[in-house]
Amino acid sequence: MKTILTTTALSLALLTGAPAMAQDSNSGQASTQQQQQKASYNEADLQKFVEAQSGIKDVRNEYMPKIKNAEKKDKQRELQMSANDEMVSVIKKTGLDIKTYNAIATAYQSNADLREKINGMM
């Protein structure tokens, strides 16, 4: 079930271009919610988030045409799962954990000041 939710969230991010919400099999929702409540993030984490966004954009650009052109739902799901795995890898390679990434992504969507700050870093 977590994989489906994760894939759905990342697939929506693939379609919209918004910061993706990611979740690997080891992260929990309670911890993510606690981190989402955190009002500020240090510059290093924000920089890692920006780096992750760049990598996620590359994954999005690679997979969107493949997903759109896949004729069967099973193939689309397979491609979405592959994109999800790659996005999680991209996030982890920046040194940011998935919980913190998700918290920043949520704050980005709901906090105009943070969104402006992050956009200035991109």
pLDDT tens digits for range 64-113: 999 999 999 999 999 999 999 999 999 999 999 999 999 999 999 999 99
Residue 120, burial from CB neighbour count under 10 angstroms (0-12, 13-18, 19+): exposed
pLDDT for 122 = 87
Residue 28, pLDDT above cutoff 80: no
b/e burial code for range 4-32 (CB count within 10 A of at least 16 → b):
eebbebbbebbeeeebbbbbbeebeeeeb
User: Would the pTM of this model clear 0.75, i.e. be above it?
Assistant: no
pLDDT for 5 = 40
At 4, list the tokens. Answer: 């489906």
pLDDT for 19 = 64
